[in-house]
Amino acid sequence: MPFRSIVPVVAVVLAAVAAAGCGSSSAPPAGTGSAPAAATGVDPNAPEVSPAGDIPDNQAFVAFAPRGAGFSVKVPEGWSRTTAGDATTFTDKLNAIRIESHPAQGALTAATATAGAVPQLATSVEGFASPKVSTVTRSSGRAVLITYLAAARPNAVTGKAGTDAVERYSFFRGGTELVLTLSGPKGADNVDPWRIVTDSVRWGG
């Protein structure tokens, strides 16, 4: 083949290679582009999932005043209510608020709670563990707080029991001790609802 006929063919091949290279330049190099949501397993539009036992932020509270008890406490509206003796318990799914009162000669202190209340709880509460005693201030005044872990009620389907985080507050006024015991699954974020309940204690009436 004459030399002059090869030159046009080579030119055509080089032009095709250059065009192919330009067409692929818009794709990012491997490893440098942003991975799609499906590749990462995260859906940015998926609804937020709260830990088990979290009380909703829009939960409404209503005042509860046992007849003749001389105090009132706000509790979540719509929760189931049961009464046994001097104790009333409000429950909803995994959370519970137990309210009880009895005559007392004086206010509980951190020292008397450590010496008396904690050992009593240890013998009466299943799975009792990690007790801590402190003194806190709420709207109605000072209270002694005992926090601890306890076995939760067994699941009705699986029969397995998880672990509850418990806050037990002891308030005192005029010869009456008011005990609020708030419990829910360990890891649930109920700091704000529990603060609403414990800040709502009112004496009188």
Q: What is the pLDDT of residues 107-139, one digit of tens each?
A: 999 999 999 999 999 999 999 999 999 999 999
CA distance 52 to 68: 36
Task: Give CA–CA dist 144/180, Å, rounded.
Answer: 11
> Does residue 177 lie in a domain region?
yes
pLDDT tens across 43-85, in order? 555 444 456 789 999 999 999 999 888 999 999 999 999 999 8
Do 153 and 93 touch, CB atoms closer than 8 A? no
The pLDDT value given to residue 158 = 73
The structural domain count of the chain equals 1
Contact 44, 36 (CB under 8 A): no
Give the pLDDT score at 19. 45
* Domain membership flag for residue 6: no
- Please say whether the dihedral angle defined by the alpha carbons of residues 121, 127, 132 and 136, taken in this order, is positive or negative: negative
Range of the domain at 142: 61-203
Instruction: Classify residue 49: in a domain, yes or no.
Output: no
22 is a domain residue: no
**Which DSSP string do the residues of 27-38 spell out, in sequence order?**
SPPTTTSPPPHH
CA-to-CA distance for 105 and 125, rounded, in angstroms? 25
Identify whether 96 is part of a domain.
yes
The reply to whether 68 falls in a domain is yes
Give Cα separations from 160 to 70, 124, 130, 153, 185 (angstroms).
40, 20, 21, 8, 13
DSSP state for residue 85 in the 8-state scheme: T
Q: What is the dihedral of CA 137, 142, 148, 152, to 10 degrees?
A: -90
Query: Model pTM?
Result: 0.75
In a domain, 52, yes or no: no
Do the domain assignments include residue 2? no
Better pLDDT: 52 or 181:
181
Confidence bin at 40 (pLDDT 50/70/90): low
> For residue 25, which phi and psi values (nearest 5 degrees)?
-70, -15
Q: Residue 145 sits in a domain of what CATH number?
A: 3.40.1000.10
